[in-house]
Homo-oligomer: A and B are copies of this chain.
Amino acid sequence: MSVTFAQGFSAAGVAAGISAVEGKKDLALVVNNGPLDAAAGVFTSNRFCAAPVQWSRNIVSDGHAKAVILNSGGANACTGKPGYEQSKATAEKVAGLIGAKAEDVAVCSTGLIGELLPLDNVLSGADKAFETLADTAEAGADASHAIMTTDTKPKTVELEGSNGFRIGGMVKGSGMIAPQLATMLCVITTDAVVTAGQLQAALNAGVEMSFNRIDVDGCMSTNDTVLLLASGASGIEPEPDEFNELVAKATASLARQIIGDGEGASHDIRVKVTGATTEEAALACGRAVAASNLLKCAISGNDPNWGRIVSSLGTVPSDVAPYDSEKVTVDVNGVRICENGGAGRDRSEVDMTPREVHIDIDLNAGEAEATVWTDDLTHEYVHINADYES
């Protein structure tokens, strides 16, 4: 389903010969058939942002987009002016096909940094994708497959509001995932009747609580792009609160799926920090814990090593997160293995067999809280990233 779950959108995913993997679907096209063409976007803050990011950030800034073309198999990042010309030519090609302006077409790329794309393949692939455009569940699924790189499965979401408007979405992302902004390409569609301003506000809020709170490997990408497109095809004007909530639910679902498919991961780790003086303090503590290679290795070895949790917590400056180290408690999967900053119940009581590991940290310093997600660090992660050129 993915992006075609919302009315007014058609999609396609085709093998265009961009990826080094023979026959892999590597080009996706999503077209907004209207009547609206409202759009919002959030992009990587990496200073080496890729050509498609430069292009798309610019064209979405007016609140309108009629289509998105996305490729795996090459990031078109650090490719200078020739790379930018490629993104522009790709947008022009799609614009010609759908009868729009190049400035109505967003472009996303993912893959190896530092190399230009095989542009002829991209352009002929666009023809092929245009020919197979459909508003079917299958077409949406094809698109979600075409954007995968080290992802082991497509990641999609379908949600329906109380009065029938719909949100659909797809994301790719598996490694190079860290706040701010997990590394990924994400397209979310809705058939609600909403303005570009509403879209951008809902997207900003949703991204902040989802993609900005996951961390697979602490590495920020050059290509991160999240787009939210509205067709208005349902004719339904949603309650603003419900719309925002549903967008947040969509981004949360997609972010959670990224963690569930983190490169080489054997555990999905939820770090929840409560009892903080402010949400920022809770977030800083959660991120410090989620970023610990030592902890992530311990979890992969099924060791609920609270020493590595508190030692990470101890790196957060006290002006950022005031707390008393002797009042901190840590529960792993419901067992309080650290009490008052020291040993609590025996770590052998913790059942580490579930895929999902819950680390609950209570700073006992206030009322604020925050949750971040990460993955464990496994042999497989090293294998993927030592042996796969990306």
Contacts and interface: CB of A to CB of B under 8 A. Distances in A.
A261 to B, nearest CB: 17
Contacts of A338: 78, 114
Given A311-B113, A313-B47, A318-B47, A294 B175 contact: yes
A29 to B, nearest CB: 26
A381 B218 contact: no
Given A325-B47, A379-B379, A386-B297, A220 B303 contact: no
A interface, how many residues as a size bin? 35 or more
A305 interface: yes
A294 B176 contact: yes
Nearest to A300: B386
A222 B385 contact: no
A132 interface: no
Nearest to A311: B222
Given A293-B217, A378-B382, A113 B307 contact: yes
A203 interface: no
Interface string A330-354: 0000000010111100000000000
B307 A46 contact: no
A112 B308 CA distance: 10
B115 A311 contact: no
How many copies the complex holds: the figure is: 2
Contacts of A315: 45-47, 220
Given A115-B343, A303-B389, A313-B47, A219 B293 contact: yes
5 closest Cβ pairs, A-B complex: A113-B307, A301-B386, A297-B385, A48-B314, A46-B314
28 contacts: A45-B315, A47-B315, A47-B316, A48-B325, A48-B341, A75-B307, A77-B311, A78-B338, A78-B343, A79-B343, A80-B326, A83-B342, A113-B305, A114-B307, A115-B343, A217-B293, A219-B293, A219-B294, A219-B311, A220-B312, A222-B310, A293-B293, A293-B377, A297-B382, A297-B384, A301-B386, A379-B379, A381-B382
Given A48-B341, A293-B377, A297-B386, 19 more contacts: A46-B314, A47-B316, A75-B307, A78-B338, A79-B342, A79-B343, A80-B326, A80-B342, A112-B307, A218-B291, A218-B292, A219-B292, A219-B312, A220-B314, A220-B315, A222-B307, A222-B314, A293-B293, A300-B382
